[in-house]
Structure 1
Amino acid sequence: MPVDATPDPYTNPLVFGQRMQVLRTRRGMSRPVLGGLLGRSPSWVKQVESGTIRTPSLPMILRIAEVLRVRDLADLTGDQTMPVDLFIGPGHHLLPAVQAAINSYPLTSDRQAPSAAHLRLRLDRAWTARHEASNHREVLGSLLPDLIRDAQLTVRQAETAADRRAAQAILSEVYSLAQFFVAYQPDSALLWRVAERGMVAAQESEDLHAIGVAAWLTVQAHRDAGPAHFDAADAVNRATLEFLQPALPNASEKVRAVAGALQFEAGYTAARRGTSGVAWGWWEKAQATAQGLPKSYYHPITSFSHAVMSAHAVTVAVELHAGGEAVRQATRADADTIQSLPRRSRHRIEEARALQLDGQPEAALTALAKAHECAPETIAYNGYARRIVLEETESKSPARRQRASELAVKLGTLAA
């Protein structure tokens, strides 16, 4: 190999620091940016890469792997005996309580389960609270433990087959709510456990809406797990749309809306693959579904609506790395018509990605500031937002550096 060639991190005997440097370089990430994401200095990163200091502890190795988007830990450590799939993010202080409720295995109970109607009312209120709250994980974390336990109990105490199916539909939706809380937190096994339980409960319920919502979230989990899981995402998406299709002509608005949400997810995955024609083709199908719904309709779980389709167009263009088109779509979208605060914040983040792709970093920071004003927890858990902010802390423009640094402190990626 020529002396000036970049070494292959998969070729032994590269040590940890060398692998980290190669993977960081391939991500196009500077030492200050990596250090900022890790809560360490650029000099610390340099010392690790040069071998001046010893290999970090396992928790720090896992954090490095997450920041560098390493899916298999062996790619970073070189230890082929410990392949670990990574799908982690920051943790919330209420995560242990939600974990305990999900992981519990109660077989008996001396208390009476709440009625399905009572659970339905609580669940509807929880969805509303989730969309109206800027600190939505805080809200969900406080509601979920009791909701999970009560929904499980209602299923166990159901006296008829019909009652059990109705309870399973509610339990499935409770797991869907839990998936919004668990996503991007440091327990990937819990995320998959919640997704699978939601799918099983939905199938047991035989409820079209519950099945569609559970599939919608499962598709996202597969896609977020990386390119190796895109086929699985497509398989779940395709099977669910085929299952729903015969019922759609006479289906309720919420069933048609979840079908539209699935159509967009198919386009999202295609955009991640880089297949532009397929991606926009699915977006157009989802747009047609949205046009068939009342203009004021807003799905309470997926946010599927007329307003969100404009936001979805920005996401498709961004994932296709079409900066100019993404900015044009963002200009057409009206973020204020998106009823959900977390979803509105996410749209602002997608807008920032579009602006950065289009070479407008100042405007990108403005969009991220709006995202933070709308829902701070959304942007704090979004890797794209953190990356843009930290990259701009290295800007040659003093004013932009200051703006980015102030936002980075708010996100917790840089110390005050």
Structure 2
Amino acid sequence: MTTDLTLGRRIAWYRQRRGMSQEVLAGMLGRTVSWLSKLENDDITLDRLSVLRAVAECLDIALGDLLAEPSLMEWTTDSGQRTVPALREVLMDYRILLGTTSAVADPTDLQQLKTDVDEVWSAYQDARFGFVVAALVRLIPRARAAVATYAGDERAIAAGRLALAYQVAASTLTKLGEVDLAWTASERGIAMAHESGNPVVIGSLLRSITHSLLSTGQYVDAVRITNDAADFFEPHLHRPSSTMLSVYGTALLAGAMASARAGDRETTRDFLNAASDAARRLGRDENKLWTAFGPTNVAIHRVSTAMELGDVPVALKLGPDLDTRSVPIERRARHSLEVARALTTAGRRDEALATVLDAEYRAPEQVRYHFLTRYLVQTWMRSVKGKPSLDLAQLATRLHLG
């Protein structure tokens, strides 16, 4: 109902639905009426997600309601015409709860299962989310059947691969704003990870839980689970494999984002420094278990956490010139959106638009579905005096905003 409204107008819409005056809501937030009025009229730039979460709590709505999520997945050659609803049916199959998922006479070969999981994760890192959703609709039931059919070590391997399939489902659904469904995928995934007995897979799914908590605005809980994950990793870090080190490092980066959104500068710094130490031990940018971990990803998160903490000058100093060519397209495009956000806040909107257009060229689905893109484009369109530029008008049309 409120998808076409700007962020500020959505806040005003929900406030009015709750029968609140601006004075009441501003008082609950510890802010002035003038600040709230400017926010509702889109006269101030996107505030930190921690503040938006506080607004959502006061209005008793989900954070996604303010961010106009979930996004409608477009039909493409990759996705076909059975997208998120089909994946929802797979994830919410009641037979899982009853333990009646049937085995098959000829289960998927374990090597083929690995190949299929690799393919889906590679597509995710290429920001081909339509392909990922369509592939998971087929992959997850086959992986479940493998777990139900195999025994012993083979069952454990199948469980680990199913866990990783659930993780990529959770990551993709988070991108689309389907946060409750992403939590279901993460929950299913951590159960399979524990069944696998593989500490690397368990660590990877702990990160998935953190991301799911982040997407629902549960920042303090996300910090707690990161600390729990660090305790889990500790005995495995004396002589770690590069994969274990990478999974550990990315878990810390997720925790850094959580603590930044919670407004905890000290914990953010500690997580980033620990991740930086792990990247130094690794020695270079890697992509073990699809983590994209290394010095570059740590630098990307320094920019993102700076923006969440309101340190725009820091983000502008570190972000625009950061060379991200060594990380996957999904990471590069997400960083570009953060840089565009910082440039917009600094009043450099032409540069911000160019940054978004470049990201869209490389990763159209990543840009299309992210709430930051919608917010930035709506902000630019409102601030234009006269007709918007052709590039901006066409971008707005592609996002169904104009």
Residue in 2 that maps onto 1:365: 353
Matched, 1:390 2:366: no
Bigger mean CA deviation after superposition, 320-329 or 104-113 = 104-113
Alpha-carbon deviation of 1:251? 2.1
Aligned to 2:17: 16
Q: 1:142 to 1:318 in 2, by over 3 A?
A: same
**Residue type of the partner of 2:245?**
R
Tell me which residue corresponds to 2:59: 75
- Taking the aligned partners of 1:407 and 1:137, their CA distance within structure 2 comes to 20
- Residues 374 and 322 of structure 1: CA distance in aligned 2, closer, same or farther (over 3 Å): same
- Percent identity over the alignment is 21
Between Structure 1 and Structure 2, how many residues are aligned? 357
1:126 to 120, 129, 142: 120
Partner of 1:298: 287
Q: Contact conserved, 1:327 with 1:354, CA < 8 A, in 2? A: yes
Q: Which residue of 1 aligns with 2:325?
A: 336
Provide closer, same or farther for how the CA distance between residues 324 and 398 of structure 1 changes in structure 2, counting only shifts above 3 A: farther
Q: Could you tell me how far 1:17 is from its partner in structure 2? A: 8.2
How many angstroms apart in 2 are the aligned matches of 1:138 and 1:129? 9
How far is the alpha carbon of 1:15 from its aligned partner?
A: 5.3
For 1:200, the aligned partner's letter is A
Aligned to 2:72: 91
Shift of 1:402: 4.7
Structure exhibiting the larger radius of gyration computed from Cα positions = 1
1:147 Cα deviation after fit: 1.1
* Highest RCO, 1 vs 2 (Cα 8 Å, sep ≥ 6): 2
Query: After superposition, what is the alpha-carbon deviation per residue over 1:155-211, rounded to whole angstroms, capped at 9, x for unaligned?
Result: 111222x22222211111010011122224464432221111111111221211111
Normalised to the residue count of structure 2, the TM-score between the two structures is 0.80
Paired position in structure 2 for 1:3? none
Cα deviation, residue 111, structure 1? 3.5
Secondary structure of the residue that 1:335 maps to in structure 2? Answer: coil
1:159 to 148, 151, 156: 151
Give me the whole-angstrom Cα distance separating, in 1, the residues matched to 2:38 and 2:154. 52
Cα distance, 1:305 vs structure 2: 2.0
CA–CA separation in structure 2 for the residues paired with 1:335 and 1:397: 34
Find out whether 1:271 has 2:252 as its counterpart: no
User: Residues of 1 paired with 2:358 and 2:16: CA distance?
Assistant: 42
- TM-score under structure 1 length normalisation: 0.77
Q: Which residue identity is paired with 2:303? A: V
| Shift, 1:318, TM fit | 0.9
> CA offset at residue 307 of structure 1?
2.0
When structure 1 is superposed on structure 2, of 23-32 and 314-323 the one drifting more is 23-32
**Preserved CA contact (<8 Å) 1:390 1:404:** no
Cα separation, partners in 2 of 1:30 and 1:18, compared to 1, 3 Å: farther
User: Residue 137 of structure 2 corresponds to which residue in structure 1?
Assistant: 145
Q: How far is the alpha carbon of 1:29 from its aligned partner?
A: 3.8
* Alignment of 1:112 onto 2:106: yes
Q: Is the 8 A contact 1:321 1:357 kept in 2?
A: no
Asked if the contact 2:337/2:356 (under 8 Å) is kept, the reply is yes
For residues 408 and 68 of structure 1, the distance between their equivalents in structure 2, rounded to whole angstroms, comes to 26
Partner of 1:221: 212
Q: Deviations over 1:91-123 (max 9, x none)?
A: 325112212222222532443211222211221
Alpha-carbon deviation of 1:299?
Answer: 3.2
Gaps of 5+ in 1: 1-8, 34-66, 77-82
Aligned residue type for 1:118: Q
| Structure 1 position 395, deviation (Å) | 2.0
| CA distance in 1: counterparts of 2:190 and 2:200, whole angstroms | 12
Shift of 1:398: 4.7
Aligned CA distance change for structure 1 residues 200 and 334 (closer, same or farther; 3 Å)? same
Q: Cα 1:20–1:129, aligned 2, differ >3 Å: closer, same or farther?
A: farther
